[in-house]
Amino acid sequence: MKEQKIADGIVYIGVNDRTIDLFESQYVVPNGVSYNSYCILDEKIAIMDTVDYRMSGEWLINLDAVLQGKVPDYLIISHLEPDHAGTIAEFVAQYPQVTLVGNAKTFAMLPNFFDLKDQPKLTVAEGDTLSLGAHTLQFFMAPMVHWPEVMVEYEQKEKILFSADGFGKFGALDTEEPWEEEARRYYYNIVGKYGAPVQTLLKKAAKLDIAKICPLHGKILTENLGYYLEKYNLWSTYQPEEHGILIAHASIHGNTAKAAELLADLLLREGETVAVVDLARDDMAEAVANAFQYDRMVLAAASYDGGLFPPMEEFLLHLKAKAFQNRTVALIENGSWAPCAKKCMTNLLNEMKKITVLEQAVTIRSTVKPETESQLQALAEAIRKA
């Protein structure tokens, strides 16, 4: 590990995981993911979280290199999810005298993962502080961002917020890519359901003088923090980032996809920002993030077995689970003898909050015909006025 100094006495000891194919066994991570962990070296030594068990060997090497024979006093447990807490047992076996620091919910849940009933524990609550010497940690509870036991820590001397899963992103730390794309995909698919708890945490953070943000995934944020805070405020209030249109299609034989592409061309000619996703083939997590990114959406789907083609149904169920709201939606359905996709999509959208479904819609009978193109032109106009 190339030592990464965060601040005076604070060192990064996390690891990159490029061997993982699916994060949480469902999200593709082509550039891997980082498991971030930190060490505060002071009169008392605090380790800020561990890492996923799959990378425990590398993490323990990093830890040993930083400690140089010293013995840690505390292990701060911000979040018990296995990608962060998976190496606790190995750590305790190596440093049996260490005190585990968590909140009441942390220690209520800890036995679900580890038998550490005899380990020294320090239970902290909202606003409590822990002096390490020159450095002092202050604890703030962040329940349901995105588990009930989550807490964050503010180091008062260096003004660092250790933000748990907040402000995290997919991608190993040595990946060169814009923060927004993978942070957005991470936020909406991992944390997105819990907008209200995120807002509560942001209000707590607003009262702190923050110089750096150290998340448990992704890069350490050191500059222009207002930009990242504003993104999180926008995302957690379910407001669109851009005036644009996502066209999401689920096509069996390509005819519904053709209609979606024709509509996209019409809208692009009028100067609209348009993104098109194929729900049968493209990354579902990216499609979900795109839906939240834009203020309008078009759903184009085939009817299937008297219902809705499954990729579209899956997409809408994902949106519902992530509290999709505050958007305008237009519909295109296809059916050779009994089109029913529009009804099915409408029923699912009606289960979400503050969704406006345009009355203007398009029904395709198998293939795109001249009259279909006229309907698509009318639909494009209705979307532009929405």
φ, ψ for residue 364, nearest 5 deg:
-105, 135
Task: Please tell me the predicted confidence (pLDDT) of residue 33.
Answer: 98
CA neighbours closer than 13 Å in the CB half-sphere of residue 64: 8
Q: 115 CB contacts (<8 Å, ≥6 apart)?
A: none
* Regions of the chain where pLDDT drops below 50: none
pLDDT in tens, 276-321: 999 999 999 999 999 999 999 999 999 999 999 999 999 999 999 9
Q: Which amino acid is at 109?
A: M
Task: Please tell me the predicted confidence (pLDDT) of residue 91.
Answer: 97
φ, ψ for residue 374, nearest 5 deg:
-65, -40
pLDDT in tens, 361-370: 999 999 999 9
Task: Please tell me the predicted confidence (pLDDT) of residue 4.
Answer: 87
Task: Please tell me the predicted confidence (pLDDT) of residue 170.
Answer: 98
Bridge pairing between strands 27-28 and 212-214? unpaired
Q: Which DSSP string do the residues of 167-229 spell out, in sequence order?
A: T--SB-TT----HHHHHHHHIIIIITT-HHHHHHHHHHHTTS--SEEE-SSSPPB-S-HHHHH
φ, ψ for residue 94, nearest 5 deg:
-80, -30
